[in-house]
């Protein structure tokens, strides 16, 4: 009897797994995005959704669940059925920064989500007002060191990447630059362009127009290597600021209970699309770089970022209280 049951169970397992994988997706796939339509995370999700709709033969829709610093969307994904029909496009804020920023957070990004691949990466640059008394990263550091507490930097809000990266520069170089938060990246870029604040670490795509108009000058890019589209822009590391490299990426995640098979299929299909010319064009038009990755590499990157950011956030005493 036992034999029969185990044999049946074994047969069931053997048969069921491939059937399950083949039948995925068996219904509409929803990609949840924690931000309003129009931003890079939303565009990344929509671009992938459109390509995967034809690839998978099932409709893939984008659901913008805004609010609560991403809590609403993240909680919805964490509590969803891990059958691969609910996916998550999230960024640094939701996946790396939030747990160090808020005392009480209703999800655990490291445990609740399984990283699939990064989708796109928007380079951040150290940008300065046109009349600021420095033109390079070195000159900025020297000026800020000589005038402690005088320089102000604008950000998209407390705990945003545009807040933490300048604090990281402060931390590495011993600078005392003062944080001025704004309501989002565009007002922060405008504040630098109008000279209300001297500097800001902002998305290359959002300062581009102001660089063309001559209101903003770029000192350096916060990346390991130079950006292909702007080969003459030195990195901050070249400018003497060690370690500081972080982009405004958008990545694809699934709830952590999802099966390996489904996760691998999603990874393979999405990465194949991201490697296409069409994907490359869509993202470079938006000032971003397509960044397909192996899931393991993406997970390792997230671990490294979490370690680093926990130290900086604590050192800079960034708290929402």
Q: Does the footprint of another protein cover residue 93 (CB under 8 A)?
A: no
Minimum CB distance to another protein smaller for 208 or for 247:
208
Q: Does the footprint of another protein cover residue 98 (CB under 8 A)?
A: no
Out of 131, 212, 277, 317, which residue is the one contacting another protein (CB under 8 A)? 212
Out of 32, 69, 89, 274, which residue is the one contacting another protein (CB under 8 A)? 69
Per the CB < 8 A criterion, the answer to whether 146 and 218 are in contact is: no
Per the CB < 8 A criterion, the answer to whether 279 and 273 are in contact is: yes
Out of 189, 201, 221, 289, which residue is the one contacting another protein (CB under 8 A)? 189
Contacts (Cβ under 8 Å, ≥6 apart) of 199: 126, 127, 128, 129, 132, 140, 151, 152, 153, 154, 166, 177, 192, 219
Question: What's the closest the beta carbon of residue 270 comes to another protein, in angstroms?
Answer: 18
Minimum CB distance to another protein smaller for 85 or for 263:
85
Out of 131, 232, 317, 321, which residue is the one contacting another protein (CB under 8 A)? 321
Q: Does the footprint of another protein cover residue 108 (CB under 8 A)?
A: no
Q: Does the footprint of another protein cover residue 215 (CB under 8 A)?
A: yes
Minimum CB distance to another protein smaller for 205 or for 291:
205
Q: Does the footprint of another protein cover residue 39 (CB under 8 A)?
A: yes
Count Cβ neighbours within 10 Å for each residue of 192-213 and write b for 16 or more, e otherwise.
bbeeebbbbbbbbbbbbebbee
Site residues (CB under 8 A) for another protein, limited to 222-281: none
Out of 18, 133, 148, 149, which residue is the one contacting another protein (CB under 8 A)? 149
Contacts (Cβ under 8 Å, ≥6 apart) of 238: 137, 220
Question: What's the closest the beta carbon of residue 321 comes to another protein, in angstroms?
Answer: 6
Contacts (Cβ under 8 Å, ≥6 apart) of 47: 119, 279, 282, 283
Out of 182, 253, 273, 298, which residue is the one contacting another protein (CB under 8 A)? 182
Q: Could you tell me how many residues make up the chain?
A: 321
**Interface region with another protein, contact rule CB under 8 A, candidates 42-50, 246-254, 271-279, 295-303:** 42-50
Out of 48, 89, 169, 193, which residue is the one contacting another protein (CB under 8 A)? 193
Containing 136, the helix (H) or strand (E) segment is: none
How many Cβ atoms are within 10 Å of 181's Cβ, its own excluded?
A: 17
Contacts (Cβ under 8 Å, ≥6 apart) of 223: 123, 124, 235, 245, 247
Query: What is the CA angle 110-267-119, rounded to 5?
Result: 75
Q: Does the footprint of another protein cover residue 112 (CB under 8 A)?
A: no
Q: Does the footprint of another protein cover residue 104 (CB under 8 A)?
A: yes
Q: Where are the beta strands (DSSP E) in the chain?
A: 29-33, 60-64, 86-91, 113-122, 124-129, 152-155, 178-181, 199-203, 216-221, 248-255, 289-290
Out of 84, 123, 157, 220, which residue is the one contacting another protein (CB under 8 A)? 157
> 301 by DSSP, 3-state: which?
helix
Out of 143, 210, 273, 309, which residue is the one contacting another protein (CB under 8 A)? 210
Minimum CB distance to another protein smaller for 205 or for 267:
205
Out of 58, 80, 152, 256, which residue is the one contacting another protein (CB under 8 A)? 152
Q: What is the rounded distance in angstroms from the CA atom of residue 272 to the CA atom of residue 269?
A: 5
Q: What is the rounded distance in angstroms from the CA atom of residue 277 to the CA atom of residue 274?
A: 8
User: Residues interacting with another protein, by CB under 8 A?
Assistant: 36-39, 42-43, 46, 50, 65-69, 71-72, 75, 101, 104, 106, 149, 152, 157-159, 178, 180-183, 186-187, 189-190, 193-194, 196-197, 205-206, 208-210, 212-213, 215, 282, 285-287, 319-321
């Amino acid at each position: 009897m036992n034999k029969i049951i185990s044999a049946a169970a074994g047969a069931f397992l053997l048969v069921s797994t491939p059937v399950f994988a083949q039948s995925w997706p068996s219904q509409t796939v929803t990609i949840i995005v924690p931000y309003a339509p129009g931003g890079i995370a939303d565009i990344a999700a929509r671009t992938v959704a459109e390509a995967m709709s034809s690839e998978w033969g099932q409709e893939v829709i984008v659901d913008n669940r805004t609010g609560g610093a991403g809590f609403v969307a993240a909680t919805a994904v964490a509590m969803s059925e891990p059958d691969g029909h609910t996916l998550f496009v999230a960024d640094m804020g939701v996946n790396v920064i939030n747990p160090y920023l808020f005392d009480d957070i209703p999800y655990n990004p490291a445990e609740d989500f399984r990283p699939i691949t990064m989708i796109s990466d928007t380079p951040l640059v150290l940008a300065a007002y046109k009349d600021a008394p420095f033109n390079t990263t070195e000159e900025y550091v020297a000026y800020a060191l000589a005038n402690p507490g005088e320089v102000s930097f604008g950000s998209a809000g407390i705990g945003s990447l545009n807040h933490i990266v300048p604090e990281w520069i402060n931390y590495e170089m011993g600078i005392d630059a003062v944080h001025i938060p704004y309501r989002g990246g565009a007002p922060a870029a405008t504040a630098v362009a109008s000279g209300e604040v001297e500097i800001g670490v902002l998305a290359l795509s959002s300062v581009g127009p102001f660089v063309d108009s001559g209101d903003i000058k770029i000192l350096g890019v916060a990346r390991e290597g130079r950006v292909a589209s702007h080969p003459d822009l030195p990195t901050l590391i070249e400018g003497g600021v060690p370690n500081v490299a972080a982009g405004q990426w958008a990545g694809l995640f699934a709830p952590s209970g999802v099966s390996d098979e489904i996760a691998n299929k999603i990874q393979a299909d999405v990465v194949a699309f991201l490697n296409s010319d069409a994907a490359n064009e869509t993202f470079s038009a938006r000032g971003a770089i397509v960044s397909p990755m192996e899931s393991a590499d993406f997970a390792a990157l997230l671990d490294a970022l979490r370690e680093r950011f926990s130290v900086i956030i604590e050192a800079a005493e960034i708290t929402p209280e």
